[in-house]
Amino acid sequence: MRKVFFLAATLVSAVFFQSCKSDDNFVMPPSAEVTMVNLYTNTNVVNYAVDDRLVQTLKVGNVFEYKDYMRTRVLPGERNIQARELQGKIAEYKTPIEVNKYYSTYLGGTFTKPVYFVTQDMIAEQDKAALENKSGIRFFNVSSDDTAVTLQIDEDIVLDRFKDRVTDTQESVALNQQYDLIETKTYKFTVLGPDQEILAVSKENTTFKKGIVYTIVFYGNKDNAAKPNAIGVIGNKLN
């Protein structure tokens, strides 16, 4: 397993349909796919809920461990996606969910200073055909260190959208949630601080594949020895 893919995916579940799964004639209603990502440094496990119903993870307590993610199905409509720990609710966000669309939630930071947002995972209409022979890329900062960071690809590539990125919020991701096209090849990632100092380097190079979109995430905390700053990569297919 490539360490740069730091997230261990659990099985896909449908958060609204557990009571129906024993029915052999059950047909999944039209829904959307939501990827839920836990990079929260305050504790090792969290729960996610949609409209106060826990997302089932097939782990004791329906927990998401640190650096876990899970893709789940959610019915369309206005949905309140919540993150919780033993101390109580960490954060929540109400968002409209549309059929056959893709979304992601990212949780980072601490209980007193959480980082939490929901994205719509999409690529520009004019880029969809080109994606067949290329990859997609975007970048988020979910560290609560209040540091403006820049994602460097290999030794010299820096996209304008990836420069001087402070900790992302629901407002900032509206400008940065769309994927940019990039060539399919093997890449190394480095996150630089305001003075071009190195804050994190990907542990292994990552090979981007045709038709797959990738989210690069800067996470962790500089003063947390157990959960220091690091880079993660999440791959997804938007069909």
| pTM metric for this prediction | 0.88
Neighbours of 154 (CB within 10 A): 13
Domain with CATH 2.60.40 in the chain: 6-120
The rounded mean pLDDT for the chain is 88
φ and ψ at 77, to 5 degrees? Answer: 125, 180
For 17-74, the pLDDT digits (tens) are 333 444 556 677 899 999 999 999 999 999 999 999 999 887 888 899 999 988 999 9
Residue 233 region by backbone torsions, left for phi larger than 0, else alpha for psi between -120 and 50, else beta: beta
Question: Pairing state of beta strands 230-236 and 213-219?
Answer: antiparallel
If you classify domain 6-120 with CATH, what class do you get?
Answer: mainly beta
Q: What is the pLDDT of residue 86?
A: 85
Of 189, 187, 188, 179, nearest to 130 by C-alpha is: 179
For 70-110, the pLDDT digits (tens) are 899 999 999 999 999 988 899 999 999 999 999 999 999 98
Long-range contacts of 51-55 (CB under 8 A, 24+ apart): 51/79, 51/80, 52/80, 52/82, 53/15, 53/16, 54/15, 55/13, 55/15
Which contiguous run of DSSP H or E holds residue 176?
helix 170-176
Q: Which residues contact 157 (CB under 8 A, 6 or more apart)?
A: none
